């Protein structure tokens, strides 16, 4: 009778728990589908030969041990951070889908040269019921539950990475001091010399660079230059379309003066394990002059920087004015999803007009309307918010729930603090008694200290009791809620005449994004 009943404890039936997949169960099994992971640091010929060597070693191992290598995942990337490698991410995705039961690599350093990265990979695989095997170290994650061996191997790999990085750094520093280049991809308008040691002029792209500078000095803005280049189908170096940021980077880069700057930044790993670039102190920078042919004169370069600085100051003064842009940061074009910004324009009669403007920074949007009357758009949004809160009963309910939740959380926090203080006081009383019994303090000192501690204990107990019965005896709650409710309803009814800061707070609390069309129709993404 009992055998026919499937007994399930509430810990399982009442919680959405995932089923544990034991990766140990694959030990001793043959014919398992695995992925072969291969990594090299660069695209140099010797490194590319290493790919074939690693692949051959993994194939031979799979044949001997009767494993089936479904696919090879090959990354050409440095050994530190796995999240930056496309093939490693694809491998993890295939593990997620159940395509693979594990991965195998020639050595642990091929997967990563960072302890945290390797541990994270091992734990990810374990969580999916998969395993990791490294041939050089004869390491199998299924046989290392305490991770001790993996940490040792990973530590050695990390130390090797640091040593290698140090040697590379010294070589790069020497090259920089000799005026040679360390960049693999030179700035727009340049290319590497045949020996890859110096920058030389790229005849075609250098003409485009000089044209950009010429247009800017004629009065063109970065956006206008960007649109013109896109319309002429002149390709940028790395991305599909020109952007204002790429134009700005070209106009401000001192490399075009024939200057090489090295060691200006460094990479560190933040608390989340991600790479973060920081600026080094300027005294550590290595600056070398006349390392390659310049494409701009010092006079024109400084003139460009002056224009950029003047325009930046003008823009900052505009934003520091009394008029704010209510929907700034959340208003987008419904056609290309680009951000729309607020601007002000002054007429010859000293009148100021405010608009939301689509700058079309990529030069690819075909929308006809580029300007929207700011007052009209703001009024539409504020009206929609007022309509949203027409149900005063709903407002009252939300306020009541939030008020009670806030008070409950505040009181609970206070009770925890008081209980902690009470516990400390009780311990202090015991210590005074022990001190008196061991003749460390006199009877007079003992009585005096004990009197203060007992009074403190009494007051703490009283405060805790008062907080525990607060909600039962608090007769003012209804009046407080009614007062808050009236204030909020009054603020919403007069939202269009409210202070800007209040309008901004309500808009940002309620709305995540707004998409606007040519005819002022709006599509709103709320935060709830």
- CATH number of the domain where residue 151 is located: 3.40.50.1390
- Residue 147 and residue 199 in one domain: no
User: What are the backbone angles phi and psi of residue 263, rounded to the nearest 5°?
Assistant: 70, 30
Which range (138-152, 373-387, 397-411) has the least confidence? 397-411
Residue-range definition of the domain harbouring residue 282: 190-303
The answer to whether residue 130 scores a pLDDT higher than 70 is: yes
- Residue 474 belongs to a domain: yes
On whether both 31 and 154 belong to a single domain, the answer is yes
Torsional sign, CA 393, 398, 401, 403: negative
Buried b / exposed e along 44-56 (16+ C-beta atoms within 10 A): eeeeeebeeebbe
- Segment 368-393 shows an average pLDDT of 76
At 237, list the tokens.
């170096």
Residue ending a domain, among 265, 281, 303, is: 303
Q: Do residues 38 and 144 both lie within one domain? A: yes
pLDDT above 70: residue 337: yes
Give the end of a domain, one of 268, 285, 303: 303
User: Over the stretch 78-100, which tens digit does the pLDDT of each residue have?
Assistant: 655 666 778 888 989 999 888 99
Residue 231 lies in a domain: yes
Give me the sign of the Cα torsion angle 436, 439, 441, 446. positive
pLDDT in tens, 6-43: 777 777 766 677 777 777 778 888 889 999 998 887 77
Which residues have CB under 8 Å from 268's CB, separation 6+? 275, 276, 278
How far is 513 from 504, CA to CA, in rounded Å? 14
The domain that contains 237 carries what CATH number?
3.90.1750.20
444 within some domain: yes
Task: Say yes or no: 406 and 507 in one domain.
Answer: yes
- Sequential DSSP letters for 254-305: GGGGT-EEES-EEEEE-TTS-EEEEEPPGGG-EEESSSS--SS-HHHHHHHH
Do 220 and 106 lie in one domain? The reply is no
Domain identity same for 157 and 211: no
Residue 355: phi, psi to the nearest 5?
-135, 160
148 shares a domain with 67: yes
pLDDT of residue 360: 66
Tell me whether residue 368 is in a domain: no
Q: Has residue 214 been placed in a domain?
A: yes
Residue 168 in domain: no
Same-domain check for residues 199 and 285: yes
Task: Give which of 230, 239, 193, 185 is closest to 212, Cα–Cα.
Answer: 230
Tell me, yes or no, whether 94 and 226 share the same domain.
no
Structure tokens at 312: 């930046």
Dihedral of alpha carbons 54, 56, 60, 66, sign: positive
- The CA distance from 188 to 209, in Å, is 7
468 or 305: which leads in pLDDT: 305
d(CA 392, CA 97): 49
**Model confidence at 408: pLDDT above 60:** no
Average pLDDT, the chain: 78
Task: Please check whether residues 147 and 220 belong to one and the same domain.
Answer: no
Domain end marker among 253, 281, 303: 303
**39 and 154 in one domain?**
yes
Domain count of the fold of the chain? 3
Q: Around Cβ 5, how many Cβ atoms within 10 Å? A: 7
Q: Per this entry, what is the length of the chain?
A: 528
pLDDT in tens, 416-456: 777 788 888 888 888 778 777 777 777 877 788 888 888 88
The answer to whether position 346 is within a domain reads: no
3-state secondary structure at position 397: helix
Residue 129 in any domain: the answer is: yes
One domain for residues 283 and 157: no
- CA-based end-to-end distance of the chain: 51
């Amino acid at each position: 009778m009992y055998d026919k009943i499937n007994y399930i404890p509430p810990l399982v039936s009442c919680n959405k728990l995932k089923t544990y997949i034991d990766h140990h169960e694959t030990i001793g099994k043959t014919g398992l589908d695995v992925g072969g992971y291969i990594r090299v640091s660069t695209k140099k010929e010797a490194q590319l030969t290493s790919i074939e060597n690693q692949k051959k070693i993994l194939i031979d191992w799979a044949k001997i041990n009767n494993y089936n290598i479904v696919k090879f995942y090959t990354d050409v990337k440095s050994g530190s951070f796995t999240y930056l490698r496309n093939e490693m991410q694809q491998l993890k995705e295939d593990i997620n889908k159940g395509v693979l039961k594990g991965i195998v690599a020639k050595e642990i350093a091929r997967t990563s040269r960072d302890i945290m990265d390797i541990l994270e990979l091992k734990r990810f695989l374990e969580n999916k019921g998969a395993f990791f095997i490294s041939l050089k170290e004869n390491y199998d994650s299924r046989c290392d539950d305490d991770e001790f061996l993996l940490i040792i191997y990973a530590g050695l790999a990390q130390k090797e990475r640091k040593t290698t990085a140090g040697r590379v750094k010294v070589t790069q520093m020497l090259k920089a001091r000799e005026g040679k280049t360390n960049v693999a991809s030179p700035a727009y308008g340049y290319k590497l010399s045949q020996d890859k040691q110096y920058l030389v002029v790229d005849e075609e792209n250098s003409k485009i660079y000089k044209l950009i500078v010429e247009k800017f000095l004629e009065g063109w803005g970065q956006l206008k230059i960007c649109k013109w280049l896109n319309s002429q189908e002149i390709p940028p170096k790395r991305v599909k379309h020109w952007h204002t940021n790429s134009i700005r980077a070209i106009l401000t880069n001192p490399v075009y003066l024939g200057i090489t700057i090295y060691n200006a930044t460094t990479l560190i790993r933040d608390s989340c394990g991600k790479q973060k670039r920081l600026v080094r102190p300027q005294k550590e920078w290595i600056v070398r002059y006349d390392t390659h042919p310049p494409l701009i004169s010092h006079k024109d370069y400084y003139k460009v920087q002056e224009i950029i600085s003047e325009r930046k100051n003008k823009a900052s003064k505009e934003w520091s004015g009394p008029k704010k842009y209510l929907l700034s940061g959340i208003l987008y074009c419904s056609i290309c999803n680009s951000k729309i910004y607020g601007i002000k324009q002054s007429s010859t009669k000293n009148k100021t007009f405010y608009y939301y403007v689509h700058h079309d920074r990529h030069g690819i949007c075909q929308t006809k309307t580029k300007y929207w009357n700011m007052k009209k758009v703001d009024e539409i949004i504020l009206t929609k918010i007022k309509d949203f809160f027409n149900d005063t009963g709903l407002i009252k309910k939300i306020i009541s729930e939030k008020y009670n939740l806030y008070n409950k959380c505040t009181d609970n926090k206070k009770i925890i603090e008081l209980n902690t203080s009470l516990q400390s006081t009780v311990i202090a009383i015991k210590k005074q008694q022990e001190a008196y019994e061991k003749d460390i303090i006199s009877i007079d000192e003992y009585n005096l200290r004990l009197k203060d501690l007992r009074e403190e204990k009494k007051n703490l107990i009283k405060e805790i009791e008062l907080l525990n019965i607060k909600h039962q005896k608090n007769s003012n709650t209804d009046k407080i809620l009614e007062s808050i409710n009236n204030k909020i309803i009054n603020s919403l009814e007069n939202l269009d005449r409210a202070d800007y800061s209040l309008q901004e707070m309500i808009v940002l609390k309620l709305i995540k994004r707004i998409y606007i069309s040519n005819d002022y129709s709006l599509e709103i993404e709320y935060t709830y």
